Amino acid sequence: MNAAILGKKIGMTSIFTEDGLQIPCTVILAGPCPVTQVKTMDNDGYAAVQIGYDEVSEKALNKPEMGHLKKAGVSPMRTLKEFRGLEKELNIGDQLTVEQFTIGDKVRVSGTGKGRGFQGVVKRHHFRGVGMATHGQSDRQRHPGSIGSSSYPSRVYKGIRMAGQMGNKRVSVRNIEVVDVMPDKNILFVKGGIPGCNNSLVEIIKL
Amino acid sequence: MNTMTLIDSLAKERAIEARKQKDGENFVEIPSFKSGDTVNVAVRVVEGEKERIQNYKGIVISRRGCGINQTFTVRKISNGVGVERIFPLYSPMLQSIEVLREGSVRRAKLYYLRGMSERKIRQKITK
């Protein structure tokens, strides 16, 4: 990993290549992210770099948070995130911008996927439902069917796919291509979709 | 700025910039045109290494989409066979769009022209 940045998903659009192909892509408003803390093996037991994103007013933070940022000499930030394994040596106060990325880079984008609420097995696990619509069957079209046998094992195995909360958890998309970079506007274009709704926070890591 | 308009303007800016770079002095802006207009679309055709311009003349029967994703459909009768081509409005493969004759129609989508003879079509789209 040799580049990382935090950003906000803005929305989707498409971009034309020179030979006329239309590529669907997502626009991300990313950075600039100041380094707020550098964790070292000696001091913290592991090496990592903490970066901030999304400037806010001082009122939005509490005193300990403000103190932490003041120590680093960084303006108030809504989000702080740690990254491990960055190849480049960074110091407190360094700015990470979209200039780390170039067109054609492969990146991993992680974020919180859209929440779907409590969903049944058909939507959540692509089950096909049970039975037919006719021949006396009723209320069986979106059911999970059997969840195991009876006297042996007399219980339901762990991990059986059932209805439940769907989405609203961390999702990563790996190996997607950077299609365009606009350093003056802090904007990245990546090919295809990325997790989350518009205006949600995403991490972008160069592979 | 509204985020959707921001994205759109960025993408459009990029598409137009690409065409400007390709054409230099010959760059032609996209004119305003609507369904019913007769247009000439200059399309770049790449044959191996060489690139040439192919003209495609016909009646605009539909415009759809918004922003960078806008497309328009041009219909013409070629050797007695109806041909329809759909062009992305901001495609770099279009060299120019020229409005030859403005039409006068009362629909946005002129799919009803499909079954008609050339003479009937002419009657329909002129004032």
Using an 8 Å CB-CB cutoff, list chain B residues near A27. Answer: 6-7, 10
Residues A77 and A163 in one domain: no
Between CA A1 and CA A106 the distance in angstroms is 11
Instruction: Tell me the per-residue pLDDT of A47-62, one tens digit each, with 9 for 90 and over.
Output: 889 999 988 888 888 8
Question: The whole model's pTM is what?
Answer: 0.82
Residues A21 and A66 in one domain: yes
- Domain extent for A156: 117-167
Taking an 8 Å cut-off on Cβ atoms, the answer to whether B3 and A198 are in contact is yes
Tell me if chain B has a CB within 8 Å of the CB of A184.
Answer: no
Taking an 8 Å cut-off on Cβ atoms, the answer to whether A18 and B4 are in contact is no
Residues A184 and A198 in one domain: yes
Residues A154 and A60 in one domain: no
State how far the alpha carbon of A26 is from the alpha carbons of A13, A189, A191, B111, in Å. 6, 6, 6, 33
State how far the alpha carbon of A205 is from the alpha carbons of A54, A122, A190, in Å. 18, 33, 12
ipTM of model: 0.78
Residues A36 and A135 in one domain: no
Residue of A nearest to B2 (CA): A10
Residues A126 and A189 in one domain: no
Domain total in chain A: 2
Between CA A27 and CA A180 the distance in angstroms is 9
Residues A106 and A177 in one domain: yes
Instruction: Tell me the per-residue pLDDT of A33-50, one tens digit each, with 9 for 90 and over.
Output: 899 888 888 998 988 899
Residues A109 and A138 in one domain: no
Taking an 8 Å cut-off on Cβ atoms, the answer to whether A13 and B91 are in contact is no
Instruction: Tell me the per-residue pLDDT of B14-72, one tens digit each, with 9 for 90 and over.
Output: 888 888 887 777 788 888 999 999 999 999 888 888 888 899 999 999 999 888 889 99
In the prediction, which pLDDT does B75 show? 93
Residues A59 and A74 in one domain: yes
Instruction: Tell me the per-residue pLDDT of A67-113, one tens digit each, with 9 for 90 and over.
Output: 888 888 888 889 999 998 887 778 888 888 888 899 989 999 999 99
Residues A181 and A149 in one domain: no
